[in-house]
Chain A
């Protein structure tokens, strides 16, 4: 009974939210151009299924491309910064400063450089999502136990040996945890860029829908982004569990 409730709880909450939303719209007779009822959003979703899917696919692929670059670059910078105290000190202020810039302010620059279209969206997704990967990988590497390092160094292990045998495996839980955060941020980045500088993607769809006061379509776009984010988050949570089960051990399982 209890485990079933735990499993069903997220679905119940989502269903409850939609029900409440519907009731408010119907009960207070909210005009559709302010807040469309879920039933109206659903209706538009079914009616415009093909174009929504086309734009969603664009956004999805853009996000994945930006995310992939972010993982690659984040991993490299994280490894460099995490294994060298000098680089750590040298790079951190710059990285933090860069991360503090709202990426939406950066999109116009990208448009000047690369023109309207997919490239600025991919780059925005990358720029917004690589930081958590860097921080987590660097933290995982920098918190290596000094005694363990002594054991390996006294055996004549090179820095690369230590990184490969201990540092990276040890940083993996941090890395996979950061992927969950990074993928949701990547969606934020690509949609932001699409609303400003693209004629494809969910962001563009929502901009054009809102300019024609088609609020149900705007909300359909929002919901599609949310669903994609949750699905990808869950996917990476699953990957994390599979790859680093040793870090998620049950404390009661220990002798």
Chain B
């Protein structure tokens, strides 16, 4: 039973214009961790818009949870390369933002504020932001902002988390720390993840399945399952098996770029 399913999906941003993605078919199980890699401009972000219902496909079908996507889904959490926290809200209030919009939280927020706040504090503590709840975003480092941004994407307990190069702007050490943070969150309470990234090591370390996409118009070239045992530790990134996966994916990307 697939949770997210693409059937021969095309998307042109302008009617009759150039295709951003072409004939994409995907199958994602509930609870699966999927990474999508590819050269820049390959329509990876377009995938996210299609899945979250912000865009309708020009051709083909997109199903999430067995239903055809016809509008914003509300069971989706999103985070981007830019943390996009609101500077006039504290970290806690930033994380609480989705609860002010999504039902059933929206209508119960007034009554249950204390409970939701406790949940948000717990979530922040899980990602190592205990003690920073009442700081403003501009008082946090880049890595901390990104942690808070991922908390904001998860606070309403979405069944699907979509990440668009969330660690792209961070330094290498912070990035690896955040890989582990994401891994722990996901293992604690499994949800489906679709991670768009340029970083092959990131994709192999985190994902169950990696999709490689072609240049514009984006097509799925390769689907590769990563059979490294879980739970994965950072040490796994220095093993031959890990290097083998990265090397193989790198060759596919190299071919795409050369073509």
Q: Point out residues on A near B: beta carbons under 8 Å.
A: 145, 147-148, 150-157, 161, 165-166, 169-170, 172, 244, 246-247, 249, 253-255
**B76 within 8 A of partner (CB):** yes
**Given A254-B139, A255-B139, does the pair A156, B72 have CB atoms closer than 8 Å?**
yes
Given the complex, which residues of A lie within 8 Å of B49, measured CB to CB? 150
A177 to chain B, nearest CB (A): 15
> What residues of B have a CB within 8 angstroms of the CB of A170 in the complex?
86, 88
Minimal beta-carbon separation of B169 from chain A (angstroms): 13
Q: Which of B72, B88, B140 contacts A169 (CB 8 A)?
A: B88
B101 & A249 in contact (Cβ 8 Å cutoff): no
Partner of B82, one of A145, A161, A172, A253: A145
Give the Cβ gap from B26 to chain A, nearest Cβ, in Å: 18
A157 vs chain B, min Cβ distance (A): 5
Interface size class of B (residues with CB under 8 A): 20 to 34
- Residue from B141, B152, B156 within 8 A of A255 (CB atoms): B141
List residues of chain A with CB within 8 A of the CB of B80.
Answer: 147, 151
- Using Cβ atoms and an 8 Å threshold, which residues of chain A touch B139? 253-255
B52 close to A (CB within 8 Å): yes
**Interface contact A244-B88, CB-CB below 8 Å:** yes
Please tell me if the beta carbons of A249 and B98 are within 8 angstroms of each other in the complex: no
Main secondary structure of the interface of B (DSSP, over half): loop
Is A161's CB under 8 angstroms from B138's CB?
Answer: no
- A/B interface sample: 27 pairs, CB < 8 A: A145-B82, A145-B84, A147-B80, A148-B84, A150-B54, A150-B78, A151-B78, A151-B79, A152-B101, A154-B52, A154-B53, A154-B78, A155-B76, A155-B101, A155-B102, A156-B72, A156-B74, A156-B102, A165-B97, A165-B100, A169-B88, A172-B88, A246-B87, A246-B138, A249-B138, A253-B139, A254-B139
Q: Are B84 and A147 in contact (CB under 8 A)?
A: yes
A230 CB to nearest B CB, Å: 29
CB distance from A38 to the nearest CB of B (A): 45
CB-defined interface of B81-125 with A at 8 Å, one 1/0 digit per residue?
010101110000000011011100000000000000000000000
The answer to whether B78 touches A255, judged by C-beta atoms less than 8 angstroms apart, is no
Contacts of B152 in A (CB 8 A): 151
Q: Is the CB of A161 within 8 A of B86?
A: no
